[in-house]
Amino acid sequence: MLIVVTALRSAFKTSAELRLENIALRHQLAVLRRSAPKRLKITASDRLLRVWLRRFWPDWKTALVIVKPQTVVSWHRKGFRLFWSWKIRRGKPGRPSLSREIRDLIGTISLNNPRWGAPRIHGELLKLGIEITEPTVAKYMVRQRKPPSQTWRTFLNNHIGTLVSVDFFTLPTIRFEILYVFLVLAHERRRIVHFAATKHPTAKWTVQQLREAFPWDSAPRYRCGIATGSSDRILCSK
């Protein structure tokens, strides 16, 4: 039955497929004849032929007997790695080095124009006819150290005399009512600048309380308040 099925499959194969199958089977017979009874002897040319059959014959697995298909795939991958290793050794060692004059020019431009980034300097160099990539320009730019920004504690210490906190809080009464208390607190001495209470706070009422807390030109430069939903985050604005 197996012979009949094999014969039917061969009838639908093309002449090229039959020739490739014949080559694969004859090659395996030759390998078995030259090998020892208990040890298979496979040379580099045998591996190369199997890799070549895998490349040009879709049904290469059907005629494979002496080794597994995974073994042929591993041969192919190993040959690919060896090819690229050989190509890298014979090629040029990395990118061409950049001349000292161009590196100095990039540094001079970046120093004289601190607001220019790598894209701008790269464009200027292209106008001068210097073919260079933008990452290379960024590599040789002179990085100017910016003064460190002050910390939040330093900011508070420097402006503690002009800082106030403005906030609302609720106050339940003995009659089970809720009063909304508006409070303005100076940071310097923790002094209460102004407070007022109402049952129905509105924007107009809040503005009037600010006017009463800071008449004329006595308003502080910065106003701080606790962020909504956070008990330790303070927001300040002019």
Residues 152-203: pLDDT tens digits? 788 778 888 878 888 899 989 888 889 999 998 888 888 898 999 999 999 9
- Over residues 70-122, the pLDDT tens digits come to 888 888 888 888 877 777 776 656 666 788 899 999 999 998 888 888 999 99
At 2, the pLDDT band (50, 70, 90 cuts) reads very low
Cα 53 to Cα 42: distance, rounded to the nearest angstrom: 16
Cα 222 to Cα 185: distance, rounded to the nearest angstrom: 12
The residue type at 79: G
- E-state strands within 26-132: none
- Give the pLDDT confidence score for residue 205 in this predicted structure: 92
28 or 137, higher pLDDT: 137
Q: Is 181 exposed, middle or buried (0-12, 13-18, 19+ CB in 10 A)?
A: middle
Other beta carbons less than 10 A from residue 183's beta carbon: 17
Q: Is 84 exposed, middle or buried (0-12, 13-18, 19+ CB in 10 A)?
A: exposed
141 or 189, higher pLDDT: 141
- Give the pLDDT confidence score for residue 95 in this predicted structure: 65
Other beta carbons less than 10 A from residue 70's beta carbon: 8
- Over residues 26-77, the pLDDT tens digits come to 888 887 778 777 777 788 888 777 777 777 777 777 777 777 888 888 888 8
Cα 143 to Cα 132: distance, rounded to the nearest angstrom: 19
